[in-house]
Amino acid sequence: MAFSRGPVFLLLLLYLLQMSDTSLVRLNENGYEDIIIAIDPAVPEDTTIIESIKEMVTKASTYLFEATEKRFFFKNVSILIPESWKDSPQYRRPKQESYKHADIKVAPPTLEGRDEPYTRQFTQCEEKAEYIHFTPDFVLGRKQDEYGDSGKVLVHEWAHLRWGVFDEYNEDQPFYSASSKKIEATRCSTGITGMNRVYACQGGSCATRRCRTNSTTKLYEKDCQFFPDKVQSEKASIMFMQSIDSVTEFCKKENHNREAPTLHNEKCNYRSTWEVISMSEDFTNSIPMETPPAPPFFSLLRISERIVCLVLDVSGSMSTYDRLNRMNQAAKYFLSQIIENKSWVGMVHFSSQATIMHELIQITSDIERNKLLQTLPTKANGGTSICSGIKAAFQVETISLLQMKPRTMDSLMLSGPWLQKTLISPRSHFSTVGKDTFFLITWSKQAPAIYLRDPKGAQMTNFTMDSASKMAYLSIPGTAQVGIWTYNLEAKQNSEILTITVTSRAANSSVPPITVNAKVNTDTNTFPSPMIVYAEVLQGYTPIIGAHVTATIESNSGKTEELVLLDNGAGADAFKDDGVYSRFFTAYSVNGRYSLKVRADGGTNSARRSLRHPSSRAAYVPGWVVDGEIQGNPPRPETTEATQPVLEDFSRTASGGAFVMSNVPGDLSRDLYPPNRITDLQATLDGEEISLMWTAPGDDYDVGRVQQYIIRTSKNITDLRDNFNNSLRVDTTNLTPQDANSKETFAFKPGNITEENALYIYIAIESVDKSSLSSGPSNIAQVALFTPQAEPDPDESPRSSGVSVSTIVLSVLGAVVLVCIIVGTTICILKNKRSSSAAITKF
């Protein structure tokens, strides 16, 4: 990371050894400022990408302005250029801009051949997402047939990123049974026209056929796709398919399709995208403009060497609680292991006054590192004037603030002779496949006995002991042995504080390392609102699923709580198998600061790379209908398990920063937390019964066990959604809830069905805990009792050889079973369940 000279600085809390990755975007007089578009260092140099980015953003700004009814546009944008690219006079040095702050990342595809534009979005409706991912080929316009104009795609993704809306299609449920008694493509609005067809290519030739109806789902078969008409007049919606030329608006309340099982309906309680956008802070703080805005202004920033000044507190307050020593431990670790060669580093000490201890020096070897280490403070006294330290650092370069306080390092207070775990490595073993592996052990009173064994069982004995700094460290040259490393630390005194930190660099620069990133949904919260803890496990940009992920949350009083995070698409987790592991947290004990640490473990027997297409992405267009004929696009690349490399065992830890709680009462005995809302209810028709499946919520969100389930049904989706409590209730006497996060199943026979209303049934579930707190209705599942009307095809004639049975439909009419076999004519058999008699009727 690099910064410009001048009065712009970064306050880096070095004891956490991390930096905020919060977006710097702000809205100023209708215009978005400080947008950062970063080109990944792995992208080969091609200055055409820079010009394509400018063109994309400029077109997007105009499109965004019209789509938001003249409210928003892109005002200024910084493009971060990799250090490996050639320098140019038009490139400036970044200030606070960095790759971690990037709102849009231009990077290689998640998996080779997949150039789908997407937004990394795993938070709740109306909450901002992480970043937008575009590939170089997409930015260069090579994927326009499949995804449409890049400027329009940017607006689609910006709505994900900034306003927390979701896609108005659903690849898991591409079709649904509409109230029109027809099978419809999942979309918004229904004014978008097209064909539903199976389109297959082989050996250079392609063929289309009419979609068949699946006998189980009563919807179209798996390979059926919706092909939009190339020429349309419908204007909505951008969140369905912005690639259609006529689409220039978001769906509004008046044209929103509430019936369709879109992701946006599921996540945002069936509100239109425009309704959600209208609730945003951006919207409430703006009014429509009277004149069109100017084009965006672009700054080209090239990353170069990092420039850092350590500003160390040597005031009297640092002489207590071992603060000075702990600060020096962190500084030594930073100077010896973290700061890269070719970086520039300076040092300032401050108490009531500041002293420049070392001017900027470029790190090229251990010689420069040792010079800086020799200037670390040995005593602390005097007053505290942080401003004087900052002012002195202005004379040196960009600022890094280092002021150690109690409990800032990963530590564990010991009362016995053995250290079983630490916050940075909670277990007594870990795995590594990296190079330049470095072990650091610190203590507060007396050096512990250190036992470290490699995967072959060999004891590592060559630790360097630095008694003055209360540190011991060991470097493993080259690539460390693959496998499980084990350690034990034996404390020599009671009430000892020990830490162990292990770092390792990627063994192969061409293979991205596996990383874990942790965060919470908000930095400040008020009791009793729940927190949501997230941990993202990735290899490069590819999600890792099947890992075991735990979060440790520590209050400022020292009390810790451990959560197992889940990637099951239920409760706090937005999407199943997206590499993001989530849980609710409500175990508050005191007001004040809570810190978060996350650990992820996995390997060949559990964790694997996800092959799923990312959620929150622009819809892939399989082709267009032009003059009644389908013009297909190249098939979307798919990846199979056979092409995936085997994952080695891994163990990763990360700090998720901290959050601050207020209004936590002294008496926490009152039950204030309802069960979490069920979001993954599924229903299928199994003979005469409807079978349900869902993930169990807990007594308190996703912890514990609910008291009961209330299941209701309706023949009208709107009635069930808007008037749940008055809908028909199902008898659940024999349904006993299981523990939270278990898989629940239940089957029942629908009642009160007549021939007139038995087309389909909608089902929803509400959970109730022991204090009668309810979750609210779940997502709505649907079962078709009769096959909805398929798309007519006047050009297709019935087959002449034999009888082609397209579907068999069963319904229960009181004591009579009605079985219809749909062929050229429809034959229905009415059979009395109490006898073997039957009547056959042709229609």
63 against 390, higher pLDDT: 63
Residue 429 tokens, joined: 């073993």
Contacts of 90 (CB under 8 A, 6+ apart): 300
- Report the C-alpha gap between 350 and 357 in whole angstroms: 10
CB contact at 8 A, 552 and 426: yes
Out of 228-242, 321-335, 392-406, 568-582, pick the least confident. 392-406
- Report the C-alpha gap between 835 and 843 in whole angstroms: 24
Name the DSSP class of 50: H
CB contact at 8 A, 91 and 302: yes
pLDDT computed for residue 618 by the predictor: 94
CB contact at 8 A, 689 and 749: yes
pLDDT computed for residue 336 by the predictor: 86
For residue range 294-335, list pLDDT tens digits in order: 999 999 999 887 788 888 999 998 888 888 888 888 888 889
For residue range 730-778, list pLDDT tens digits in order: 999 999 999 999 999 999 998 765 545 557 789 999 999 999 999 999 9
Pairing of strands 131-134, 118-120: antiparallel
CB contact at 8 A, 462 and 411: no
> pLDDT at residue 406 above 60?
no
Contacts of 112 (CB under 8 A, 6+ apart): 639
Pairing of strands 514-520, 531-539: antiparallel
* Residue in 75, 84, 80 with CA at minimum distance from that of residue 96: 80
pLDDT computed for residue 10 by the predictor: 32
Map 592-630 to HEC letters.
Answer: EEEEEEEEEEECCCCCEECCCCCCCECCCCCEEEECCEE
Percent of residues, the chain, with pLDDT higher than 70: 84
Q: Please state the rounded mean pLDDT for residues 671-682.
A: 95
CB contact at 8 A, 237 and 168: yes
pLDDT computed for residue 314 by the predictor: 92
pLDDT computed for residue 842 by the predictor: 32
Sorting pLDDT into bands at 50, 70 and 90, what band is 642? very low
- Report the C-alpha gap between 463 and 487 in whole angstroms: 13
Q: Please state the rounded mean pLDDT for residues 607-626.
A: 89
pLDDT computed for residue 686 by the predictor: 84
Q: Please state the rounded mean pLDDT for residues 773-798.
A: 74
| Phi-psi domain of 22 (left: phi exceeds 0; alpha: psi -120 through 50; beta: other) | beta
First to last CA, the chain: 75
* Residue in 621, 626, 544 with CA at minimum distance from that of residue 580: 544
Sorting pLDDT into bands at 50, 70 and 90, what band is 432? low
Out of 14-18, 62-66, 185-189, pick the least confident. 14-18
Element (H, E) at 711: strand 708-714
| Phi-psi domain of 569 (left: phi exceeds 0; alpha: psi -120 through 50; beta: other) | left
- Report the C-alpha gap between 360 and 398 in whole angstroms: 10
> pLDDT at residue 826 above 60?
no
Residue type, 281: E
pLDDT computed for residue 796 by the predictor: 44
pLDDT computed for residue 758 by the predictor: 52
> Pick the catalytic residue: 157, 234, 249, 397?
157
414 against 668, higher pLDDT: 668
CB contact at 8 A, 472 and 499: no
- Report the C-alpha gap between 638 and 279 in whole angstroms: 38
- Report the C-alpha gap between 540 and 319 in whole angstroms: 43
pLDDT computed for residue 811 by the predictor: 36
CB contact at 8 A, 185 and 145: no
Q: Please state the rounded mean pLDDT for residues 777-787.
A: 84
Sorting pLDDT into bands at 50, 70 and 90, what band is 434? confident
Residue 192 tokens, joined: 């978008």
pLDDT computed for residue 218 by the predictor: 83
- Report the C-alpha gap between 655 and 598 in whole angstroms: 6
Is 755 in the active site? no
pLDDT computed for residue 612 by the predictor: 82
* Residue in 777, 764, 722, 730 with CA at minimum distance from that of residue 750: 730
pLDDT computed for residue 339 by the predictor: 85
Of 34-48, 87-101, 432-446, give the range with the top mean pLDDT.
Answer: 34-48
pLDDT computed for residue 179 by the predictor: 81
- Report the C-alpha gap between 197 and 6 in whole angstroms: 62
237 cis-preceded (ω within 30 degrees of 0):
yes
Exposed, middle or buried: residue 380 (CB in 10 Å: 0-12, 13-18, 19+)? buried
How many helices (H) and strands (E) the chain has is answered by: 12, 50
Out of 457-461, 495-499, 518-522, 672-676, pick the least confident. 495-499
pLDDT computed for residue 229 by the predictor: 97
CB contact at 8 A, 224 and 237: no
CB contact at 8 A, 532 and 581: no
Residue 14 tokens, joined: 């070095």
Residue 750 tokens, joined: 């629908």
Residue 480 tokens, joined: 């460390």
For residue range 68-120, list pLDDT tens digits in order: 999 999 999 999 999 999 999 999 988 888 888 999 999 999 888 889 999 99
Out of 504-508, 556-560, 817-821, pick the least confident. 817-821
CB contact at 8 A, 573 and 566: yes
- Look at the block and give the residue holding tokens 């092909």: 227
Contacts of 45 (CB under 8 A, 6+ apart): 82, 84, 85, 86
- Look at the block and give the residue holding tokens 């239940």: 746
The mean of the pLDDT values for the chain is 84
| DSSP annotation string for 569-593 | SSTT--SBTSSEEEEEE----SSEE
- Report the C-alpha gap between 522 and 511 in whole angstroms: 33
Percent of residues, the chain, with pLDDT higher than 90: 58
Q: Describe the crossing of helices 150-163 and 48-67 by its angle, rounded to 10 degrees.
A: 60
Q: Please state the rounded mean pLDDT for residues 2-6.
A: 32
For residue range 684-716, list pLDDT tens digits in order: 888 889 999 999 999 999 999 999 999 999 988
> pLDDT at residue 815 above 50?
no
Residue 684 tokens, joined: 């299928």
| Phi-psi domain of 358 (left: phi exceeds 0; alpha: psi -120 through 50; beta: other) | beta
374 against 392, higher pLDDT: 374
Residue type, 271: R
Q: Nearest 5 degrees, angle CA 366-CA 370-CA 371?
A: 120
pLDDT computed for residue 834 by the predictor: 36
pLDDT computed for residue 646 by the predictor: 57
Residue type, 203: G
CA 673 to the chain's CA centroid: 25
CB count within 10 Å of CB 641 equals 8
Sorting pLDDT into bands at 50, 70 and 90, what band is 393? confident
